[in-house]
Structure 1
């Protein structure tokens, strides 16, 4: 329980470095568009607010009793009612990583400005990416700490019941974060494919859907014995297939 408190303090401090020295840097902001800035930092300010509130409640319990009788109720309350910004942040991960990579490879001014910030003593010699991934690391570490609390607590007691409820709440949050990230990744993939497909005279197929995702893609040699759209009668043709959960799209490469 003490480790949960101390690690939350360390995590909160690192988040404040990210917000104060990177996100709020006017020099860095001027090197990119507003959209790129949003994709890069997402709602990290909300994450810092959430962490600060969580730590304050944990620290208050510690001040009341240095032996810390229990903190499971605090974890359950925050995981259930206040940690939703984590879902948004983790869902944005695919855009965040793509945007950072693009800026580093195509924007020399951004790269140089970023290096100058990273040299600050407050950053401890760490690159910005190590700060950006902290929320994902934190949200996956908390269940491990809570699981240990459960193991160290005597079964069939009120404290054990509270610990298991807290573990359940934080595990549900992790699941929602993973599902959000997966859904966003699928949507991004659909969006990319939609731009690559050309339907010519055929009616364009509305590919992007929240309930659709790609299962498999690759080349196949099709032997066709009758007229089928873009292929000649009786011709064998090397095709590129996209198999989704609800539709199969047969294409040919340009």
Structure 2
């Protein structure tokens, strides 16, 4: 617990009485430091571990180590694939024929979704080919620069982006030898993009910027629909089936507030699909919906902060409960879950909340100032703010768990140092950064933990304190005298015993700069908090 490299030599020259007085003085200083820093020692009945016995270097040098095992030989196998074999063209099914008959882009999209998700033959729709045969697209581009979503009773004026499928293949003389010409609707990409659902004659004259904007909006809504289906699967298949297997507390830890998230995103998707339906797939305004619902995504914070703990609890229960393990394996084998495990589905909400800023930014990139750019920008700022807040909360939770684990091995006398206890004047203790540093003179490696109010130095494995925790309110961080070493810095303390100095070396110049900056900022905040606390105490007195 001392910082001097020559202290052991000095102690050997002292008498027993002097050493006893020195130990009593150190114990008193430790108590004063702990009280000043607001630290707490736990007396839980456990005894501190015995000090490790230093082994003779000569004995260690004579010890022979087991040679490493030989590297096994890898057998290379090769498979010859017949990639040149021609495959016959797939015939057009009755479902594709029904889709081709639809002349409205939104109806085609709705039919495509029903076929893709339910594998059912879509109902027949009214054939409007005769009334649409002479439809003109000359007036389409006149409407692209104005808002078409009705506002305050305004009559909707929409461009025409649908028409009969006139470019389909024919089997009677349509090709050489009566071959069927492949159509766009029979291609694998049909329904996966906005352009695949819109009549080609409308696309040819459309501005590329507007077309890209429609594609970005289409991607947002399509991926939101797929995400909500995954949420429904989590709740209806996994969550509901595990209520009879696990205790309610375990179910709550694993799934957190996923039901609230499902309700929030179902409402969000309903608004998006209603706008898509009313606009018949050509959405001229979406910023108002994004701006209205993005604020509700704050509900994700609880789920995301809990996710790491949920994964650990799920794995622990799976290892201890064979019934649960078998049940989850059966669910994984179910075709409805697409051969994915519950642990994969639990990551889906975190992945979605991180994608919102990217998807909104893509829409905003192609949105002009005379469109709904202002509302879309507000939605983007809100999504980024929520994501920052979630990331900060996750870091705080991870830091708390790190301090909790570290406290198990930090003994002072017969008590353990509790680093998770609240600080004296700064609320809950937070872990700002940690990493390996070395003594600048001796090169001894230490593990440093910079908290919001103290700096803790331990041995490299972080199993024992190197010295008493250093209150940051009493620390000044400086460069080494001479300024020639850009890897080292010095910590100057006002007490105990007339002051102390510690010279530490970082692995790189960048790390050194970051350590110095973080310690300096934390020290200033500590001193400011102490001044405010003293001011409040004087006013109350």
TM-score by length of 1: 0.82
Q: Give the stretch that moved more between structures: 243-252 or 125-134.
A: 243-252
Alignment pair present for 1:167 and 2:385:
no
Does structure 2 retain, via aligned residues, the 8 Å contact 1:190–1:208? Answer: no
Alignment pair present for 1:69 and 2:284:
yes
- The match for 2:456 is 249
| CA deviation after TM superposition for structure 1 residue 133, in Å | 0.7
Does structure 1 retain, via aligned residues, the 8 Å contact 2:407–2:417? Answer: no
| CA deviation after TM superposition for structure 1 residue 136, in Å | 0.8
Aligned runs of 1:13-162 on 2, under 5 Å?
13-25=229-241, 28-66=242-280, 67-80=282-295, 82-154=296-368, 156-162=369-375
| CA deviation after TM superposition for structure 1 residue 187, in Å | 1.8
- The match for 1:227 is none
| CA deviation after TM superposition for structure 1 residue 137, in Å | 0.9
What secondary structure, in the 3-state scheme, does the structure 2 residue paired with 1:68 have? coil
Structure holding more helix per residue: 1
Does structure 2 retain, via aligned residues, the 8 Å contact 1:217–1:242? Answer: yes
Aligned positions, number: 237
Larger RCO, structure (CA 8 Å, separation 6 or more): 1
Gaps (5+ residues) in structure 1? 224-235
Does structure 2 retain, via aligned residues, the 8 Å contact 1:219–1:241? Answer: yes
Does structure 1 retain, via aligned residues, the 8 Å contact 2:407–2:416? Answer: no
Q: Deviations over 1:162-202 (max 9, x none)?
A: 22111111111211221221122122222222334333435
- Separation in 1, partners of 2:362, 2:448: 44
| CA deviation after TM superposition for structure 1 residue 157, in Å | 2.5
TM-score by length of 2: 0.40
Q: Deviations over 1:120-172 (max 9, x none)?
A: 22212111122111111111112111111111112x32422222111111111
Is the alpha carbon distance of 1:186 and 1:206 closer, same or farther for their aligned partners in structure 2, counting shifts above 3 Å?
A: closer
What secondary structure, in the 3-state scheme, does the structure 1 residue paired with 2:456 have? strand
Does structure 1 retain, via aligned residues, the 8 Å contact 2:291–2:379? Answer: yes
- Separation in 1, partners of 2:291, 2:457: 49
| CA deviation after TM superposition for structure 1 residue 22, in Å | 0.8
| CA deviation after TM superposition for structure 1 residue 118, in Å | 1.7
- The match for 1:232 is none
- Separation in 2, partners of 1:162, 1:47: 23
Larger radius of gyration: 2
- The match for 1:189 is 402
Gaps (5+ residues) in structure 2? 1-216, 423-427, 465-541
- Separation in 2, partners of 1:105, 1:200: 38
Which residue of the other structure, out of 375, 391, 407, is the alignment partner of 1:178? 391
RMSD (CA atoms): 2.6
